[in-house]
Amino acid sequence: MIEQEAVWNLAKVYFELERYPEAIDNLKLFISSYPQNPKREEAIELLGRAYLYSNQYEEAMAYIESLPQRSPSINRAYQQIAFSQGVENFNRADYNQAVAMFQKSLRYPQIPELVKMAQFLDCRILFA
């Protein structure tokens, strides 16, 4: 139990210090080593955010898509990640990939503002 708390606390400290690579490593260790821990869902959400904040969108999406079950908070993180990847693709003029990412973000409409922005950018691409 002490080891679990140590790994968890270390991961959270790294996250709060914006040391995302270290946070990612420790969160992955926590999730895989302690699958029954009640903080697992929070760890999964933090892992998604750490990937998001370190611009590792593909890794974040692949990880979340691999989960057998996803809570609303995890779907919220997924929506943010997919939208952010879509914006990055849009800014690189990779419009096909941008549309695909905006559509993925719209599958999990947890954040109304992101829904509106994804729809707007999606339409902007389609009617350009």
The residue among 32, 85, 36, 78 whose CA lies nearest residue 56 is 85
Q: Which pLDDT belongs to residue 45?
A: 86
Do 117 and 83 form a contact (C-beta atoms < 8 A)?
Answer: yes
Q: pLDDT tens for residues 65-115?
A: 988 888 898 899 899 999 999 999 999 999 999 999 999 999 999 999 999
Q: What does the pLDDT average to over 36-61?
A: 91
Q: The tokens of 12 are what?
A: 């959270």
Residues 55, 114, 87, 11, Cα dihedral to 10°: 0
Phi and psi at residue 93, to the nearest 5°: 65, 25
Q: Which pLDDT belongs to residue 126?
A: 86
The residues spanned by each domain of the chain are: 1-54, 57-128
Do 76 and 49 form a contact (C-beta atoms < 8 A)?
Answer: no
Q: pLDDT tens for residues 1-19?
A: 899 999 999 999 999 999 9
Is the pLDDT confidence value at 128 over 80? no
Please indicate, yes or no, whether the overall pTM of this predicted structure exceeds 0.95: no
Q: Which pLDDT belongs to residue 127?
A: 85
Q: pLDDT tens for residues 29-42?
A: 999 999 999 999 89
